[in-house]
Amino acid sequence: MTEKRPTRTEIRITGFGGQGVVLSGHIIGRACAVNAGMHATMIQSFGPEARGSACSTTLAVSDTEVLYPYIGRPDVFVVMSSEGWEKFGNELKDDGTLVYERDLVKVQPKPGQQAFGVSSTRIAEELGRPIVQNIVMLGFFAAVTRIVPVERMREAVRESVPKGTEELNLKAFDAGVAAFDESYAGGAKAAAPAPVGS
Amino acid sequence: MSTEVETPVRPEEHPIAPYLRMDRMPHIWCPTCGIGTVVKCFATALGEAGVDLDKTAIVSGIGCTGRVAGYMNLDAFHATHGRAIPFATGLKLGRPELEVVVFSGDGDLSGIGGNHFIHAARRNMDLLVILVNNFIYGMTGGQNAPTTPETARSSTMPFGNFERPFNLPHLAASCGATFVSRWTCLHIRRLTACIRTALGRKGFRFIEVIAPCSTLYARLNRLGSGLALMKFYHDNSEIKHGADTREVDIGFQERFICGNFIDQERPTFLDMMHAHYSQVLGDRYVPMKPEGGWLHD
Amino acid sequence: MKADPAGVLTGVHYLDGDYACGEGAMAAGCRFVAGYPITPSTEVVERISRRFPMMGGTFIQMEDELASMAAVAGAAWTGTKCMTVTSGPGFSLMMENIGLATMMEAPCVVVNVQRGGPSTGLPTMVGQADMMQARWGSHGDYELIALSPQSPQEAFDLTIEAFNLAETWRVPVMFMMDECVGHMTEKVVIPPADQIEIVPRKLTSKPPGEYKPYEVNGRPVPEMVRAGDGYRFHTTGLTHDERGYPVMSVECQEVSVRRLIDKIRLNADQIVRYEEEDVDGAEVVVVAYGITARVTRAGIDLARAQGVKVGFLRLVVVWPFPERRIRELAGKVKAFVVPEINYGQMVLEVERCAGGKAPAVLVPHGGGGVHDPRAICQAIVEAAR
């Protein structure tokens, strides 16, 4: 019996309430499940998610049906607040990928882990709307992980954000992708990583 | 000289027979109970008001007065204890063209159903609520009610009630009822006229009717027969239309106030909902049809 | 008939189970919802209250769950399809009027997004411990129907099924979701309205005067009318005769309650629904439902890797229970394994139906999370020995 071993990627996204953590997870899940034909199960943590407190969402992305909906140690950890880093930083797999807001979070990745930082808040501020920080991060995440083709993620952004805000959000997304290209893909700092979960 | 006795009216020829389920007579109420009189007033008022009986539904809860729905020749629902008002709310919102009447007792509507009562009044749900108050739980054997006057005896307050009772017209009024009245079952004409008027109004309409329970309330308190209670109402009820409802509480065997206290217009739950959604949603708003949101081929 | 397009959000969506359930209700033609907020079910009514004004639906947030269920029992008589939504603590309060709806034979749907209990328990975390309450939580003797979805897609599909079953059998149908499915977001495909089959309210063809609300003439389910159509009918929570009039007698109790039970029990084959996988020749058959069914399949994969022949029976309709199928399998398997997020509820049914021919091994979980597939695997491997 030659069965293809199913690929499963586990993702955790954390930040503080109001940063759009859940929307980010939703867009990633939608991109994978709706736009790219994979399976993606998103679970949001339900706690006291008042503005400013810690907030987290997880995704299990797979080529086959997701049977176990929760995650163990994530393959990818997106962190947008230092509280999120402190709470979940240890969980990241030893060879996992860390994607972080580099002006807000000081991370200490373990050897073997790859870390990619972006000034998503500052970039969003430069676009005139700090609220799109999470979409900048999403563009950066898409470029780092290539979990789906970047264009699929971009489609999911367009389909998920409130009507009338598409242009702004796509600009933010593109800025996040560009930030990766500038800092990592083109430069000498790091080679482009392999797609996650393969 | 012989006295010729007129042939009594056969039950099915009685003027209110068309409003009743005559196949369910005789009813279960005790001799001298006041509930039957209130039913007579209600049936008469239905005829006088000229409401479409096919579009009128009645809901009762549990208890002696809770049996009223079962005797009315309308779409009739005998619901659970205390839940007549929310059940009626479902009927009204499921088919908005219905005139929905809630007919139940003091224990049912103000005891176990008290929370529903205040919220339906607050929302101004379009219901006519007729509450027969006999100051006691009759069907279960004379236990204390939220309306039992202080010092009055009940089977669970054998040494006299020490709790403060509800002043029901004031409760209804303070929650926003658009129509609030109190009568006794002695006031047949005034009560009938009051129900007729209320049937022509909209919103949460509340009519309290004081009625004798000679089997339990009168016996436990040694108040004599049903007739003696009616005489007491005659001598001690004072009619004061427009009275401040704060002043209409009832003390044990004390004078009390009857009358039409409040009759005002206020948009109902459905009025408010339609107006609000029309304003904020404009053409996108699709209200439920008067006959309800039912689907058919 | 086909669904009313006004309620059908055709397309490919990424929705959580609660939203998908709300979409299923609207697609099924539900146009009246009464509810009271409670975690983790509230998103169902949030979704509905946002979309109802555009499709002729009315949502009302009642003062409590007693009122919510009573309002639904009332609205059921208007022909408007109706539903209420809650979780454990509210489900307990609804039991009173679930009994009323059962006794009056008022079609409606009750959604319970199960969380950990007893009492306030774990408001934001999963449980599956209301399964027995769904069956007999109200007092007295009765049978009703309960379903359990395993995914947001099924939360949509089976909510429509729940409404259809409620109409067909004139019972309140319990929609037993769990917090995990309710708060899990996945792809949900909503087909075009003309591909969604719904069962409309069947009204009597008899004129007023000839109609009796509870006359069956050999059918399992009496014909219904709507309040406001001139039938001037009577219905009650008291034991009643064909006319809907109270009758306090042993004979009437026997006839009326027996029929409430028989309409489900004797027609269980038409209602029961389960899915099987590799049951033929299996040494062990695992029985599961809801989110646990998915986790179970992960456990089964692990057990198969160890060479155990494992079959799987997933309950889609939970009540009535697939008695006959379990009885058949009991003669063929070494054991049943029943993982569930409680300390043994549906396993009792498996055990009863197995009749001692095969043991039913419970894999319990106290709630707040789902099983570790390895625990299920271990139970399967041990049961196969």
CATH 3.40.50.970: which residues of chain C? 5-195
| Interface present between B and A (3 or more CB pairs within 8 Å) | no
Residue C143 Cα, gap to closest chain A Cα (Å):
32
Q: In the prediction, which pLDDT does B11 show? A: 81
CATH 3.40.50.920: which residues of chain C? 274-384
Q: In the prediction, which pLDDT does A192 show? A: 46
Query: CA C221 to CA C208: how far, in whole Å?
Result: 19
- A7 falls in which pLDDT band (50, 70, 90)? confident
**How far is CA A103 from its chain centroid?**
17
Position B1 pLDDT exceeds 90: no
| Chain C residues within an 8 Å CB radius of B115 | 63-64, 67
pLDDT digits (tens, 9 = 90+) for C93-152: 999 999 999 999 999 999 999 999 999 999 999 999 999 999 999 999 999 999 999 999
Which residue, C254, C253, C263, C173, is CA-closest to C216?
Answer: C263
Q: In the prediction, which pLDDT does A54 show? A: 78
What percentage of chain C exceeds 70 in pLDDT?
Answer: 100
Which residue, C139, C175, C134, C208, is CA-closest to C28?
Answer: C175
Q: How high is the mean pLDDT of chain A?
A: 90
CA dihedral C113, C118, C120, C126 (to 10 degrees): -40
Hey, are the CB atoms on C79 and B286 less than 8 Å from each other?
no
| Residue with the two structure tokens 């239309």 | B241
Nearest CA in chain C to A156: C14
| Chain C residues within an 8 Å CB radius of A40 | 14, 186-187
- B291 falls in which pLDDT band (50, 70, 90)? very high
pLDDT digits (tens, 9 = 90+) for B178-220: 999 999 999 999 999 999 999 999 999 999 999 999 999 999 9
Q: In the prediction, which pLDDT does B3 show? A: 60
Q: In the prediction, which pLDDT does C192 show? A: 98
- A198 falls in which pLDDT band (50, 70, 90)? very low
Hey, are the CB atoms on C70 and B293 less than 8 Å from each other?
no
What CATH class is the domain A9-185? alpha beta
- B2 falls in which pLDDT band (50, 70, 90)? low
| Chain A residues within an 8 Å CB radius of C87 | none
Please report, as a single letter, which amino acid is at residue A121: T
Query: CA A73 to CA A12: how far, in whole Å?
Result: 9
Choose, out of B60, B64, B91, the residue to mutate when testing the contact with C (most C CBs < 10 Å): B91
Mean pLDDT score, A62-72:
96
Hey, are the CB atoms on A46 and C40 less than 8 Å from each other?
yes
User: Hey, is the C-beta of A70 within 8 angstroms of any chain C C-beta?
Assistant: yes
- Supply φ then ψ for residue B113, to 5 degrees: -105, 15
Hey, are the CB atoms on A69 and C40 less than 8 Å from each other?
no
Nearest CA in chain C to B20: C232
Query: CA A90 to CA A85: how far, in whole Å?
Result: 8
Q: In the prediction, which pLDDT does B9 show? A: 79
- Which of C34, C63, C77 has its CB closest to that of B115? C63
Hey, are the CB atoms on C67 and B115 less than 8 Å from each other?
yes
User: Hey, is the C-beta of C35 within 8 angstroms of any chain B C-beta?
Assistant: no
| Chain C residues within an 8 Å CB radius of B79 | 70, 73-74, 97, 100, 237
Hey, are the CB atoms on C294 and A68 less than 8 Å from each other?
yes
Q: Among B13-17, B37-41, B49-53, C313-317, whose mean pLDDT is lowest?
A: B13-17
**Domains of chain B and CATH, by start:** 30-284 (3.40.50.970)
β-strand partners of A54: A16
- A40 falls in which pLDDT band (50, 70, 90)? very high
Are B212 and B33 a contacting pair, CB within 8 Å?
yes
Query: CA A23 to CA A157: how far, in whole Å?
Result: 9
What CATH class is the domain C5-195? alpha beta
- A53 falls in which pLDDT band (50, 70, 90)? confident
Position A187 pLDDT exceeds 70: no
Provide the CB-side half-sphere exposure for A72 (13 A, CA): 8
Which C residues 99-118 touch B at CB under 8 Å? 99-100
Q: Among A158-167, A181-190, B100-109, C372-381, whose mean pLDDT is lowest?
A: A181-190
Binning chain C into helix, strand and coil, the percentages to the nearest 5 are 40, 25, 35
- C300 falls in which pLDDT band (50, 70, 90)? very high
pLDDT digits (tens, 9 = 90+) for B118-144: 999 999 999 999 999 999 999 999 999
Hey, are the CB atoms on B291 and C227 less than 8 Å from each other?
no
Q: In the prediction, which pLDDT does A190 show? A: 47
What CATH class is the domain C274-384? alpha beta
pLDDT digits (tens, 9 = 90+) for A89-144: 999 999 999 999 999 999 999 999 999 999 999 999 999 999 999 999 999 999 99
Hey, are the CB atoms on A34 and C13 less than 8 Å from each other?
yes
Hey, are the CB atoms on C295 and A26 less than 8 Å from each other?
no
- B12 falls in which pLDDT band (50, 70, 90)? confident
User: Hey, is the C-beta of A41 within 8 angstroms of any chain C C-beta?
Assistant: yes
Q: How high is the mean pLDDT of chain B?
A: 96
**Residue C81: CB atoms within 10 Å:** 32
Residue C319 Cα, gap to closest chain B Cα (Å):
25
Position A46 pLDDT exceeds 70: no
Q: In the prediction, which pLDDT does A3 show? A: 47
Alpha carbon distances (Å) from C180 to A107, C176, C225, C340: 31, 12, 39, 13
Mean pLDDT score, B41-51:
97
Query: CA B98 to CA B59: how far, in whole Å?
Result: 12
- B5 falls in which pLDDT band (50, 70, 90)? low
pLDDT digits (tens, 9 = 90+) for C150-191: 999 999 999 999 999 999 999 999 999 999 999 999 999 999
Task: Give, for C300, the enclosing helix (H) or strand (E).
Answer: helix C291-305
Residue B231 Cα, gap to closest chain C Cα (Å):
35
| Chain C residues within an 8 Å CB radius of A47 | 124
